[in-house]
Amino acid sequence: MRCIKALIVLIVLGALGGLALIYSGLFNVAVDWKDPAPIAWVVHSTFINSVKAHARGIAAPASFTDAQVRAGFLHYKETCVYCHGGPGKDPGDIGKGLNPEPPYLVDTAKNWQPNEIFWIVKNGVRMTGMPSFAPVWKDDDIWNIVAFVQKLPTLKDEEYARMEQEANAPPPAR
DSSP assignment of 84-97 equals: H-BTTB---HHHHT
pLDDT value of residue 79: 95
Cis peptide before 172 (omega within 30 of 0): no
Identify the CA nearest to 115 among candidates 147, 137, 87, 138.
147
CATH topology of domain 54-168: Cytochrome Bc1 Complex; Chain D, domain 2 (1.10.760)
Which residue type does 131 have?
P
Residue 62 three-state SS: coil
pTM of the model: 0.85
What is the chain's mean pLDDT, rounded?
93
Domain ranges within the chain, ordered by starting residue: 54-168
pLDDT of residue 171 exceeding 80, the answer is no
Residue 23 three-state SS: helix
Give the span between the Cα atoms of 86 and 65, in whole angstroms.
20
Average pLDDT over residues 148-159: 96
Percent of all residues in the chain with a pLDDT value above 70, rounded to a whole number? 99
Cα distance from N-terminal residue to C-terminal residue, the chain: 87
| pLDDT band, residue 168 (cuts 50/70/90) | confident
Average pLDDT over residues 133-154: 97
Q: What is the pLDDT of residues 42-87, one digit of tens each?
A: 999 999 999 999 999 999 999 999 999 999 999 999 999 999 999 9
Which positions ≥6 away from 89 have C-beta within 8 Å? 81, 160
